[in-house]
Amino acid sequence: MAQFTGKVWLLGDDIDTDIIIPTEYLALPSVDDMKKYAFSPLRPELAGQIAPGDIIVAGKNFGCGSSREQAPEIIKHLGVACVIAKSYARIFFRNAINNGLLLIESDLHDHVQEGDTITVAPGEQIEAGGEVYPISPLPQNLLDILEAGGLVRAMQKRNGLIS
């Protein structure tokens, strides 16, 4: 995966799936309809401010709570390049990879401010404020899914719909 540069939006610990997208919006017909309500219980203005290529940096246990897959899908649809958190809740982690959303585990949260510009080389390092933070690569089976563009495309390949 090629390296990329983006602007930081800083969130705290335990950003749960009810914060990422409250249940009341899950019945909306599409993820694009839902995405303007992303993070609304915590920061109602945030969804309108996030621009494609931006990066979410958070504390520990990002995505805890329900299994709603709209949570990573919405983040992906907002154009977020990747999420960098100290740790992730398990179902969110799987859902993100399955939707082609890159997740990176790092304690970068303690070293950056909102609005900072950082450069990410997936599987290698993050550059922020002149410092370099090493990151570890994902296991191969997860990289395969990410590189296929998510689990739907990986299954389409399996079923011979695409090559």
Partner 1 sequence: MGHTLIEKIIMKNTGLDTVSPGQIVTVNVDRVMIHDIFIPFVAEKFKEMGFTRVWDPDKICLIYDHMVPTSAVEDVRHFQIGDAFAAEQRLTHVHRTDGICHQLMPEMGYARPGQVVFGTDSHTTTYGAVGCFSSGIGYTEMAAILGTGELWVRVPETIRIEIDGELPGNVSAKDVILTILGDLRADGATYKALEFGGSAVEKMSVASRLTMSNMSVECGAKCALVAPDEKTAAFSGVPMAEIAWLKPDPDAHYERVIHYSAAGLKPVCACPSQVDNIHPAAELVGTKLDEVFIGSCTNGRLEDLAAAAGQLEGKTVAPGLRLIVTPASRSIYIEAVKAGYIETLVKAGAIVTQPGCGLCCGRAGGILADGETVLATNNRNFLGRMGPSSVKIYLASPAVAAASAAAGEIVLPE
Where does this chain bind partner 1 (CB under 8 A)? 14, 16, 18-19, 22-24, 26-29, 40-42, 60-61, 64-69, 87-91, 94-95, 98-99, 139, 141, 150-152, 155-156, 159-161
Helix (H, G, I), strand (E, B), or coil: what is residue 100? coil
- In the complex, the smallest distance separating the C-beta of residue 7 from partner 1, rounded to whole angstroms, is 25
Pick 2 or 27: Cβ nearer partner 1 = 27
- In the complex, the smallest distance separating the C-beta of residue 10 from partner 1, rounded to whole angstroms, is 18
Pick 7 or 157: Cβ nearer partner 1 = 157
> What do you get for the CA distance between the two ends of the chain, in Å?
20
Asked whether the beta carbons of 150 and 98 are under 8 A apart, the reply is yes
- In the complex, the smallest distance separating the C-beta of residue 115 from partner 1, rounded to whole angstroms, is 24
- In the complex, the smallest distance separating the C-beta of residue 79 from partner 1, rounded to whole angstroms, is 20
Pick 10 or 121: Cβ nearer partner 1 = 10
CA distance 103 to 23: 23
Give which of 118, 116, 121 is closest to 136, Cα–Cα. 121
Rounded to whole angstroms, the maximal C-alpha distance in the chain is: 46
Asked whether the beta carbons of 112 and 10 are under 8 A apart, the reply is yes
